[in-house]
Amino acid sequence: MGTFITVDIGGTQIRAAAYPENERQALAIRKTSTRAGSEATFDRMVGLIRSVYPADRSVLSITVAAPGPVDPYSGVIAAAPNIPGWMNFPLRDRLEDEFHVPAHLGNDANLAALGEWRFGAGQGHAHLLYLTVSTGIGGGVITDNQLLLGARGLAAELGHVTVLPDGPQCGCGQRGHLEAVAAGPAIAGYVRDQMAQGANSILQGVSDLSARAVSQAARQGDDLAIKALARAGEFIGMALADFLVVFNPSIVIFGGGVSTSGELLFAPLRESLRMHVMEPAYVHDLVITTAALGDDAGLLGALALAHTMQQRVSV
Amino acid sequence: MGTFITVDIGGTQIRAAAYPENERQALAIRKTSTRAGSEATFDRMVGLIRSVYPADRSVLSITVAAPGPVDPYSGVIAAAPNIPGWMNFPLRDRLEDEFHVPAHLGNDANLAALGEWRFGAGQGHAHLLYLTVSTGIGGGVITDNQLLLGARGLAAELGHVTVLPDGPQCGCGQRGHLEAVAAGPAIAGYVRDQMAQGANSILQGVSDLSARAVSQAARQGDDLAIKALARAGEFIGMALADFLVVFNPSIVIFGGGVSTSGELLFAPLRESLRMHVMEPAYVHDLVITTAALGDDAGLLGALALAHTMQQRVSV
């Protein structure tokens, strides 16, 4: 019986897990901080992997979920937010050189989609759209039971479609992208701007205002916070109307912290989708739900990729 | 040696062709008018197919490219523009009942994409985006050498993404869709509106102004006509910036009458794409070109589908 090692590189933590070949319950999970002291991140990752490595060394592959632009074909990380020095970093080759087993690399949102399809809320859906809404907005798409990657592995960057031409600037430099108007920082920024213009809110005076604080205030009935979440939901619904005519999925799965806001986000989202969708056939029988894998989305998404790659090797 | 029959249902003509199993040169092509007299369209289509049917009856399949929403899985035409009475019309089953051979059905823009990928400008590209710009805007997408269909076969309706929120009404009823601002009627409509507001143009006094007339006037140096094509190109470039982050294709192929306007359309389109694309990696090595199959796109796209389906049967 072989073992799959998977690694999830997050903004604050790197986690590694070991899974028996036919199970989704990890034998062991260990974590380290993404930025910690002076030791190089790669060396700490190697140490972390060794800490979950099975004694019998029966490892089939090491599969890594990484944020930001990665090339799944070459295994190179173009740039990793929060990891200085990882520019065009050949992570796959470095891991294969170190451990002498096959290594694979995928974008974390893509792999979360694959994980939900294989193990989570999307099981049985051949056409699936996954959106994670947190500090950014990422996407992953399954079409006909295949992960959509594109020519250079850069497909499904669904936070970077334009929903408000000439709107606020996005982290990527362009204007009016979905991420720039509906991700966590945009939700908090909207509340800040409205308060600066005199709007009332229990959030007045809160320093370092976060989308989480806005979500809590909304649950307590704060009108401005409710409006901020509704506004994000409306923009997401508009973008979703486009994604439906583009992909025609049978399920849309929402992950990320902002998605835990419940109906305060999803009621306006569904209403906006209903208003903007081209025709009812696209929403007939469409499932809209939240992710099932929670914090383990990265590890289990990487495990799903490991399974897929293993099948290709076996065939 | 078997024969493939393919049929292309156009707005004005229905064409049928017979192809030897391993060739893309038709043995025979016949056509009839889409709307003609009182005889039912289906009966005329049957007669047309019989007129190209091989004497040895060695037909492997009949494959039909149809406009508008079709369900490729069930072979049902939801609605056919220009063919009254074809609402939820089970074309595949009707053809199989009539000819006792397998029949297949696909959306014409999807099949044109498949045809360009198999026989035309997109050969060798595993990730391909096709846009046809004429009286409407249709799309077809190949990802990892597979035609994107979606859960109900309704994917890749690329003319119905929003590029101008609250913009002009689209044929589908929504507002600001790409089709509503950049297809032929929108180009002609823009010129008409500007002339009504006093703009000068050699097109003044032309009745039934068409995009083709605008294109001709632009080639003659008419400023308003040039501006109208540039405006359409800018909107298409904006939408294309979104399509690239969504699909990450290695080639974009433009078909349809408006696409024959050359640099008057494509120079502003490329400039708009360059301005709006999220990052240069998406346009690095990207091929932007026009369709190679011309009037035979529907027949050859249906032939490409017939090949694909035949391989599945053989496997």
* Span A16-72, pLDDT tens digits: 999 999 899 999 999 998 876 656 889 999 999 999 999 988 999 999 999 878 999
State how far the Cα of B35 lies from the Cα of A301, in Å rounded to an integer.
53
Pick from B256, B285, B293, B271: nearest CA to B179:
B256
- Please return the burial class of A266, using the count of CB atoms within 10 Å of its CB with bins 0-12, 13-18 and 19+: buried
- What average pLDDT does range A144-169 have in this prediction? 96
ipTM, two decimals, is: 0.94
- All residues of chain B having their beta carbon less than 8 Å from the beta carbon of residue A241 are 162
**What region does A174 belong to: left with phi over 0, alpha with psi -120 to 50, or beta?**
beta
Q: For the stretch A220-230, what's the b/e string if a residue is b when 16 or more beta carbons lie within 10 angstroms of its beta carbon?
A: eebebbbbbbb
What is the distance between the terminal CA atoms of chain A, rounded to a whole angstrom?
18
- What average pLDDT does range A248-272 have in this prediction? 97
- At A63-102, the pLDDT tens digits run 999 987 899 999 999 887 778 788 899 999 999 999 999 9
How many secondary structure helices (H) and strands (E) does chain B include?
Answer: 9, 13
Q: For the stretch A41-67, what's the b/e string if a residue is b when 16 or more beta carbons lie within 10 angstroms of its beta carbon?
A: bbebbbebbeebbeeeeebbbbbbbbb
Question: What's the confidence (pLDDT) of residue A39?
Answer: 66
State how far the Cα of A293 lies from the Cα of B8, in Å rounded to an integer.
46
Cα–Cα distances (Å) from A156 to A111, A116, A141, B141, in that order, read: 11, 16, 6, 14
- Indicate the residue of B150, B165, B281 with minimum beta-carbon distance to A152: B281
> A248–B155: do the CB atoms touch at under 8 Å?
yes
Residue B28 pairs in a beta bridge with B18
Pick from B238, B199, B243: nearest CA to B217:
B199
- Give DSSP secondary structure letters for A238-276: HHHHHHHHHH--SEEEEESGGGGGTHHHHHHHHHHHHHH
> B154–A249: do the CB atoms touch at under 8 Å?
no
**Confidence bin at A310 (pLDDT 50/70/90):** confident
More confident residue, B129 or A294: B129
> B245–A69: do the CB atoms touch at under 8 Å?
no
Question: What's the confidence (pLDDT) of residue A273?
Answer: 98
> B152–A126: do the CB atoms touch at under 8 Å?
no
- Given a cut of 70, the residues of chain B with pLDDT beneath it are 36-39, 314-315
**Confidence bin at A167 (pLDDT 50/70/90):** very high
Question: What's the confidence (pLDDT) of residue A200?
Answer: 96
- State the DSSP code for B175: B
State how far the Cα of B44 lies from the Cα of B31, in Å rounded to an integer.
10
- All residues of chain B having their beta carbon less than 8 Å from the beta carbon of residue A154 are 245, 248, 281-282
Contact assessment for residue B250 and residue B126, using Cβ atoms and an 8 Å cutoff: yes
> B151–A126: do the CB atoms touch at under 8 Å?
yes
- At A95-149, the pLDDT tens digits run 999 999 999 999 999 999 999 999 999 999 999 999 999 999 999 999 999 999 9
**Confidence bin at A15 (pLDDT 50/70/90):** very high
Q: Find, in chain A, the residue whose alpha carbon is nearest to that of B244.
A: A155
* Helix B108-119 with B297-314: angle, nearest 10 deg: 80
> A276–B162: do the CB atoms touch at under 8 Å?
yes
Residue written as token pair 């089970």? B90
Q: Which ranges of chain B does DSSP label H, i.e. alpha helix?
A: 41-52, 91-99, 108-119, 178-182, 184-196, 211-219, 223-247, 263-276, 297-314
- Range from A67-71, A189-193, A259-263 carrying the lowest mean pLDDT: A67-71
Structure token pair of residue B289: 């070109």
Contact assessment for residue B124 and residue B139, using Cβ atoms and an 8 Å cutoff: no
Contact assessment for residue B232 and residue B188, using Cβ atoms and an 8 Å cutoff: no
Coarse DSSP helix, strand, coil percentages of chain A, rounded to the nearest 5 percent:
40, 25, 35
- What average pLDDT does range A271-277 have in this prediction? 97
Q: Find, in chain A, the residue whose alpha carbon is nearest to that of B235.
A: A165
Question: What's the confidence (pLDDT) of residue B39?
Answer: 66
State how far the Cα of B155 lies from the Cα of B140, in Å rounded to an integer.
8
How many secondary structure helices (H) and strands (E) does chain A include?
Answer: 9, 13
Pick from A16, A20, A68: nearest CA to A42:
A16
Beta strand A137-143 with B28-33: parallel, antiparallel or unpaired?
unpaired
Question: What's the confidence (pLDDT) of residue A36?
Answer: 66
To the nearest whole number, what is the mean pLDDT of chain A?
94
Contact assessment for residue B105 and residue B91, using Cβ atoms and an 8 Å cutoff: yes
Give residue A167's identity as a one-letter amino acid code: G
Nearest chain B CA: its distance from A159 CA (Å): 9
Q: Taking the complete model, does pTM exceed 0.80, yes or no?
A: yes
Give residue B107's identity as a one-letter amino acid code: N
- All residues of chain A having their beta carbon less than 8 Å from the beta carbon of residue B157 are 245-246, 278
